[in-house]
Structure 1
Amino acid sequence: MLALCSAGLEQAPCLELKRMGYKILKVTAGHVYFDAKLEDIPRLNISLYSVDRLLISVGRFEATTFDQLFDGTYSLPWENFVHKDAELVVEKVKIRSSKLSATGAVASVVKKAIYQKINSSYQAAIKYPLYVYIKNNVVELALDTTGENSLSRRGYRIKTSVAPLRETIAAALLLISGWDMKKLLVDPFCGSGTIPIEAARMALGILNNKREFAFQKWPMFSNFKLDEFERKIVKAKTVSMGFDIDETILKVAKENAARAGVLDFIRFEKKDFFKLDPFDQSVHVVTNPPYGLRIEGIDNKFYRNLARFFVVFPHSTICVITSKENLEKLFGKKPRKKFRFQNSGIWTWCYIF
């Protein structure tokens, strides 16, 4: 199996998969390979918080010509996964440093080989999304079990703030920052509420089963029902808090939380971060302050003032994401961990203090 995530955040799917008992085989940029059974596909799709898509990696082979591409594709065990009434849809062709370069032709040859291998009826009744990766002349072919909408599409976020985090990225930051789901999670720049909402969903064990997946149409899963999976029972308490200075966006956050079924577990309050009183208790902070590439008028003075985190949240873990590569200099404090990841095509830094 292949779990796709934002490049730089691979640690989060690895943490989730290991906790679920799966063995990690290999990790590359945005890709986590692991061992799983076909019958695990439903559970994985609805249970993983930080993964964007879940693919079956059908096989790999070397190809520098279209004949080799056809033969290599044909040699793979498609009959184990794809019904003869398949409609093959090539959703993505990504080619790097390879002799084969024409994406349309590559897609056409791959489909032709698979149709021949499964002795296709050409009924086109069952959709199978395909991903094609070619790097250094090595072809990898995969079936997308997730479908049209990525796993980040939870269904609760109809409205957003100016520059919201994708839901799976918010979940990944919670995991990588080491939140134990016991300490109160605080986001002092919560915007439309994605981070507090994802924290509450995670702590409550809410599953991503109120949607459709590609695998549901496949005959091998014809007897599967999504409602077989229910969220675990938890003790009612406040899981997270979200502050923002904008009353309008806080209303949106509350609406999103209500749709997500977690409004009763989150406290949203209109508060200016720069006027917050210090917290007595140790909390866990994960936040996405406004930053320059997304919002105009943000300068170094703003970032230096953000060092107030350490006054407001003493003895707390503080996870901040920003486009600033030198935030530790502006803060005058060295982070415990620092890494970068892709957020909507922008390389973004994450600092954990």
Structure 2
Amino acid sequence: MDRIELIAPCHFGLEAVLKREIKDLGYDIVQVEDGRVTFAADLGGIARANLFLRTAERILLKIGSFKAVTFDELFEETRKLPWENYIPKNGKFWVKKASTARSRLHSAPDIQSIVKKAMVERLKGRYHVSWFEESGDDYPVRVFILKDQVTISLDTSGTPLHKRGYRKLVSEAPIRETLAAALLMLTPWNKDRILVDPFCGSGTFLIEAAMMGKRIAPGINRSFEAENWDFVPRKTWYAAADEAGDAVLEHVQMDLQGYDKNPQMLRIARENARDAEVDDLIHFQQREVKDLRHSKPYGFIIANPPYGERLEDRKDLPELYGQMREAFDRLDTWSKYVITSYEDAEKYLGKAARKRKVYNGMIRGEYLQYLGPKPPRREPR
């Protein structure tokens, strides 16, 4: 099993960010589709991808792909796959999720049931048993069907990768860690530049920024499903963990500031930052956006302001976004990045230089980008 294919799902519209991350890890891209990137790796790539990719939702090991327009075809083609190379005799296996789009097979429960039956039939023949205890490690299976093309994979991550382990408490409208990291990567911000979040909530943007600046691998403090699988050598996990530990920058200075008008949210943000071991890099303070000021030029603002999802809150949005515009105008050399689903956002903030459609959970929004001037180049000493 020298060469495998891994599939990394991500937020729609942010495939290019994930593709760049994967290439930076040294792997070759096989295919880029809406919401997923497939790449070639060795077995060590399972550990490294889970540990290092900031914008992937999970890492799937591709078992096979084929065309199926009937349930009989789905059964027969699934049975042909070499499941015995992955799942041991006592393995616990089930089809955790089946999704389908623009295909003749569209019943997720039926797809799950048929794929499970086909796997059982294959493994019964290979292990010469009539039934399975399934008392061992978990091997969750995922099926994705697009235009009648079936892709079957094992979920190597288990718990989704956006759950880094540091965010035990969240705000009312939290932004996923993976989405926050991707939006940061779409900016020219780096650890030497000021970054302010005026609606910091539970602190996700700033914690992700601090981890990026300190080169802390996003999966360094959590476990993964495939750690227990026999065919993935234990030494690959040790090597990836050592690589992650060696990469961390111990002595880093960063100017990261988070503001929120809710003191409860600030308490949560501080606790999350402590759990992520970056609390020394972030300054949290109770402050409303109308009071946003900064003495230094050429900073960055990244914000996930209220959208007005609840009808009773929508009446407050014109005033809030007007206050944001006044604060933005005061910081005229700064670059500002705002994710919002408020349809009148540009009416109050001004026309964005760039914008990109993104989804925060099931909420469709836009990533508005207001680009400030580049700082003057420093004269060499």
- Cα deviation, residue 181, structure 1: 2.8
Of 85, 92, 98, the residue aligned with 2:103 is: 98
- 2:201–2:266 Cα contact (<8 Å) kept: yes
Task: Give me the whole-angstrom Cα distance separating, in 2, the residues matched to 1:233 and 1:278.
Answer: 27
Of 307, 316, 333, the residue aligned with 2:334 is: 316
SS for the counterpart of 1:178 is coil
CA deviations over 1:222-277 (Å, ceiling 9, x no partner): 52445434152342313421111222211111111001110011111122221222
Q: Find the counterpart in structure 2 of residue 111 from structure 1.
A: 116
Is 1:290 matched up with 2:306?
Answer: yes
CA deviations over 1:195-245 (Å, ceiling 9, x no partner): 111111111111212222110110023524454341523423134211112
Q: Which amino acid aligns with 2:361?
A: S
SS for the counterpart of 1:26 is strand
Of 317, 330, 337, the residue aligned with 1:299 is: 317
Q: Find the counterpart in structure 1 of residue 179 from structure 2.
A: 169
Gaps of 5+ in 1: none
Total equivalences in the alignment = 351
Of 246, 252, 266, the residue aligned with 2:268 is: 252
Q: Find the counterpart in structure 2 of residue 280 from structure 1.
A: 296
Alignment of 1:135-284 (within 5 A): 135-147=146-158, 149-207=159-217, 208-224=219-235, 225=237, 227-228=241-242, 229-230=244-245, 231-284=247-300
Of 341, 344, 349, the residue aligned with 2:366 is: 349
SS for the counterpart of 1:292 is coil
Deviating runs (4+, > 6 A) in structure 1? none
- Cα deviation, residue 189, structure 1: 1.1
- TM-score by length of structure 2 reads 0.86
- TM-score by length of structure 1 reads 0.92
CA deviations over 1:31-84 (Å, ceiling 9, x no partner): 112222222111110111111111112222111222211121123333443333
SS for the counterpart of 2:234 is coil
- 1:11–1:176 Cα contact (<8 Å) kept: no
Q: Which amino acid aligns with 1:181?
A: K
Alignment of 1:16-165 (within 5 A): 16-118=21-123, 119-120=126-127, 122-124=132-134, 125-147=136-158, 149-165=159-175
Task: Give me the whole-angstrom Cα distance separating, in 2, the residues matched to 1:25 and 1:298.
Answer: 47
- Cα deviation, residue 336, structure 1: 2.8
- Cα deviation, residue 326, structure 1: 4.6
- 1:278–1:311 Cα contact (<8 Å) kept: no
Task: Give me the whole-angstrom Cα distance separating, in 1, the residues matched to 2:264 and 2:106.
Answer: 48
SS for the counterpart of 2:87 is coil
Instruction: Please identify, of 6-15 and 165-174, the stretch whose mean Cα deviation from structure 2 is larger.
Output: 6-15
Task: Give me the whole-angstrom Cα distance separating, in 2, the residues matched to 1:285 and 1:200.
Answer: 15
Q: 1:257 to 1:248 in 2, by over 3 A?
A: same
Identical positions, percent? 35
- 1:133–1:139 Cα contact (<8 Å) kept: yes
SS for the counterpart of 2:346 is helix
Q: Which amino acid aligns with 1:17?
A: I
Q: Cα RMSD (Å) of the superposition?
A: 2.0
- 2:162–2:176 Cα contact (<8 Å) kept: yes
Q: Which amino acid aligns with 2:272?
A: N
Task: Give me the whole-angstrom Cα distance separating, in 1, the residues matched to 2:22 and 2:335.
Answer: 24
SS for the counterpart of 2:41 is coil
- 2:305–2:339 Cα contact (<8 Å) kept: yes
CA deviations over 1:269-314 (Å, ceiling 9, x no partner): 1222212224422112211111211581433332233212433433
Q: Find the counterpart in structure 2 of residue 11 from structure 1.
A: 16
Q: Which amino acid aligns with 1:232?
A: V
Gaps of 5+ in 2: 1-5, 371-381
- 1:199–1:239 Cα contact (<8 Å) kept: no
Q: 1:233 to 1:345 in 2, by over 3 A?
A: same
Task: Give me the whole-angstrom Cα distance separating, in 2, the residues matched to 1:309 and 1:34.
Answer: 43
